[in-house]
Structure 1
């Protein structure tokens, strides 16, 4: 099966044409009438994780003892996600692979429109109707382990290699199911090129974003300035060198040289409306996918945002909260 757009072939495009038409209509409605209708989804499928990464926003607002069943999620998919004609939904957590029943439910209800963000420290299950896995890697082994815990890189790497050594899925080689995502911060920025070279030719894609702080002075935040701009320029050079492997467009990643999202904790140019974000109880998160349904919870600093999912929309001309 030939890949045409982001890992989707002719068969996928034909089957999903109604969703492309829906997104096209939403974009036209936005451009002509400033009508803001959600296009994509982000879902915290569970409230537990086996790691405690130093940069992770999720632990800031976590509460114990809350979770939904797979059937609860099936109802939310039918009543909220499908009714809003969301094209692709990204499952996050917690660690979503700790709830394979929920992932299976999403794959059943939204075939080939489900991405899973995972630390891949557990063996990766082969879901028939999964779009792909976003595997979080924070640089080369030493740096990754410093952020995620000793031995985590080796587990993640082995589970990726075990998965891609398996049989084809949906007529495609298994390595096409694995995309790497790296969140750049003050501890790992120097490994961008090395990580790219290590995984090129082994997995399908790699994408970069920057750490988003929840408070001023966060030591992991990489300040705007010469050093950060140099990292952005390196990613642009990697894109030119490996255009089919690095997914960031020069226009999108260039936004990361400065403030593109908002003022304080308030989105301005960021199109947070375009992604409908659910927490682990099916409640809508604000102001964005790393926010919270609790109005008293800590909020991300929009003016220092480094998220890729919103900046790619801004680069395409979709803006405004």
Structure 2
């Protein structure tokens, strides 16, 4: 069998294989929205992709108000096995703003584009309207813009203790600050809320994070949450959970908070029977979409140690 010829890997680029396998058991038909497809953006080029559901139901492609890709389908009574698999080209250089300098023109509410201005407002899980005084006390002495965002990222990283499996879908940024620990979802909510409290547009981002070039056992085993803040006339990446650059991150979606970026929204009762996420560098000419997932040794070891689950990394 002759396989289709795929494009060569461009210079300074990595091929990353991402995907997930999700199994749900339901008693009654349940509509479902699934948000696992990568968002096409600068520095993130889709090479190949496929999605399957073993019940053979019709799948509808949609986009939400933030421009994120969704799949809508019906879960049928019994077992429903879903799988998404893709290969992308991404930059081999970290895109985080942890260290690189930026020029900072002043942007105010009077000059921000409307599609950016929306991300200065409070939301259900990022109650920036309750954090104004605290944000000013903590970060008011920093130069507005990049310096402030970096300080918020570092404070969030140091203030919250990471606890794998501690995710609470009802916990907001204020609750996470008071509790003092959480998962990547909570780190992202806290930074977003504090940025917005100081009129820095910020949005919650969901994606895949490969494990290589990092020694944290949780990366690459789950979907990952991080932050984009509007600085220097564009969206800049911050990761308060890790507070350092990472290579190979793949973006799925962005929104006001985790509500807009939930990987699965089910309208009815369903139990999760199986959950697996993968994200790792690959030779895209040798290992294709649809091939058996070849989890690297380090990722397989981390998965065994941490346990694969949907609590967020």
Q: Which interval holds the TM-score relative to the shorter structure?
A: under 0.3
Q: What TM-score results when the alignment is normalised by the length of structure 2?
A: 0.26
- Higher relative contact order, structure no. (Cα contacts within 8 Å, ≥ 6 residues apart): 2
Q: Where is the helix percentage greater, Structure 1 or Structure 2?
A: 1
Q: Where is the strand percentage greater, Structure 1 or Structure 2?
A: 2
